[in-house]
Amino acid sequence: MKTILITGCSSGYGLETARYFLSRQWKVIATMRTPHEGILPPQENLRVLPLDVTDDASISRAIKAAGPIDVLVNNAGIGVVGAFEATPLSHIRRVFDTNTFGVMAMTQAVIPQMRERRSGVIVNVTSSATLAPMPLAAAYTASKQAIEGFTGSLAHELAHFNITAKLVEPGYAPTTRFAQNTTVRAEDLIPEAYAAFAAPIFQSFANPALTTTEAEVAEAVWRAVNDTSGTLRFPAGQDAIALSRVA
């Protein structure tokens, strides 16, 4: 039985991905900053561990407690939407700490055991914002674009050890808690000078033509984990797939 460790399982993509792999008889290690009862029902193949991907000591404890890991899914992330001009650099650093450096830290923590076994899969969840420019998302996009380049390069160097690195690129999912996983509200990052520009963009967010479901992201992670074709990118959701065709 293979073991998968997923970050950011308190809600959204991470939670649905944990459910998806459990339903397929995998051993799942679901991690989140503050585990609490009721998120996932207790079952034999499930372990829930505390993990803050921005804390080196927390990462070390989680990796030690997890034991051998066949697959790592770096899903934990926070969002920021608003005018870049008005976004505090302190918050941008927090976004990068989780979305970029947190992914790198987790990846660095699992590579040694995978390299020794000469097997393993690392899946990094980014965003369809990397497929086409999105207004009012400059800092967020930058944090995810960094992981796109990181993963592409990493895939080459880890292939020597029979380790694969993959990208899952979700589209827009209004039902996720993405916008809530931040201490800065979008409305606080829209100065008056940007109001007219931002209004139709927020209207399109409220009434999107195409969206992505959490189940579609979980399915894309499953495809990425089991891929043997050498494919690097797995867009998830109708909107992301449409963007990937023109990117």
**Residue 201: how many other CB atoms lie within 10 Å:** 16
The answer to whether residue 13 is catalytic is: no
Total residue length of the chain: 247
**Residue 116: how many other CB atoms lie within 10 Å:** 11
Distance of alpha carbon 9 from alpha carbon 106, whole angstroms:
15
Task: Please tell me whether residue 175 adopts helix, strand or coil conformation.
Answer: coil
Distance of alpha carbon 114 from alpha carbon 151, whole angstroms:
16
Distance of alpha carbon 37 from alpha carbon 53, whole angstroms:
21
DSSP H or E stretch at residue 47? strand 46-50
Which residues are registered as beta bridge partners of 123?
73, 166
Catalytic option among 13, 20, 140, 172: 140
Answer for the pair 182, 78: CB distance below 8 angstroms, yes or no: yes
**Residue 61: how many other CB atoms lie within 10 Å:** 15
Q: Which positions ≥6 away from 37 have C-beta within 8 Å? A: none
Residues marked as catalytic: 140
